[in-house]
Amino acid sequence: MTLRMHVDAGRWRRHLQATLAATPGLVPVAKGNGYGFGIEMLAHEATALGVDTLAVGTYPEIDSAAGFGGTVLVLSPWRPFLGAPKDDRRVLHTVSRLDDLAEMAALPHRPRVLVEVLTSMRRHGIPAERLDEVRPLLDGVQLEGWTVHLPLVGDTTSEAQRLIDRARSVREAPAWVSHVPAAQLARLGDGIRSRVGTGLWLGAPGALDVRSTVLDVHNLSPGQTFGYRQRSLRRGGVLLVVSGGTAHGIALAAPSAVSTMRQRGIAAAEGGLQALGRARSPFILDGRGTWFAEPPHMQCSMILLPSGAPVPRPGDDVEVRVRHTIAHVDEVVLH
């Protein structure tokens, strides 16, 4: 039941190197599902890139990044109730509330911190107008920078510049930013650290190819039922069982494409499948998208062969268009 991601390693690593060269102070981000590669693998790639810092999302993810020898930045802000490691000098904490900064400053070992400034994202951060209250707390910590997390739209560079200037009037320190286009980073001055995940790991077009395998092929006669839901095809067809299910992050595509009554009518006329609940699948056969025969199972999916397409055999590969930020493949194969 294997779902594999094939990586054109030469192409992928050339892109990693090019991104490194184009991005001042690059800090690779390896969090969550590790952008489909897994955090462990990205930790080793970050080591090969020679960067000094790797960012993870949460405190428990630090363990997955053990293969990286440098500083590990935790992007989720420190909170007293999160069970952060007490005195691990590899760890660089993000602090986003005055109360938390005060608590950290009272610890005996002067933790390494970035202080987060609130942006128009309004997720975490100390509001710019309260930054003067940060100053007296800085003696108790090792301030390694100011950090801002910007939205993906709008004039983020101007916002970053304004907030960084304000923060640097409190204490001169590097500025850690996300989602500022590489071409704009120069406007922010020196000492910029740019955190990049998607654009780094997933930015090389054509380097990644996720493949499922045909596990079974069933000819369906008209009206013959199949699946947990015992649906049937009025005109019959070919049912394929392919590897890849909900455990891999294979989900029903938003059914909006077939949501109107008219489209449902078309769907019904086309295949005779009970049109209600019919959903596009991410599996590609004969260069064409396919339909789920029913919602994906845990580790495999039932899909319908597009009419007229050559019938594959068990063991054949099937292309899958996954969202890499939610995919969990069984195997990453470098070529």
Ligand X SMILES: *Cc1c(COP(=O)(O)O)cnc(C)c1O
Q: State the minimum distance, in angstroms, from the CB of residue 101 to ligand X.
A: 18
The secondary structure of the chain in percent helix, strand, coil, rounded to multiples of 5, reads: 30, 30, 45
Is 199 a binding residue for ligand X by CB under 6 A? The answer is yes
The DSSP line for 7-54 is E-HHHHHHHHHHHHHHSTTEEEB--TTGGGT-HHHHHHHHHHHT-SEE
Q: CA-based angle 103:177:208, to the nearest 5?
A: 120
Q: Contact at 8 Å (CB) between 281 and 251?
A: no
Segment near ligand X (CB under 6 A), from 16-24, 193-201, 283-291, 306-314? 193-201
Number of shown-chain residues binding ligand X (CB under 6 A): 10
Alpha helices in 137-210 (DSSP H): 156-168, 198-201
Q: Considering only residues 4, 15, 112, 149, which one is a binding residue for ligand X as defined by CB under 6 A?
A: 149
Chain Cα centroid distance, residue 272? 37
Is 196 a binding residue for ligand X by CB under 6 A? The answer is yes
Judged by CB under 6 A, the chain residues 49 through 78 that form the site for ligand X are 75
Structure token digits, residue 254 = 């938003």
Residue, CB closest to ligand X: 197
Q: State the minimum distance, in angstroms, from the CB of residue 288 to ligand X.
A: 30
Binding mask 18-47 for ligand X (x = CB under 6 A): -----------x-x----------------
Q: Considering only residues 34, 197, 245, 312, which one is a binding residue for ligand X as defined by CB under 6 A?
A: 197
Pick the closer one to ligand X by CB: 200 or 241: 200
Residues in contact with ligand X by the rule CB under 6 A: 29, 31, 75, 149, 178, 195-199
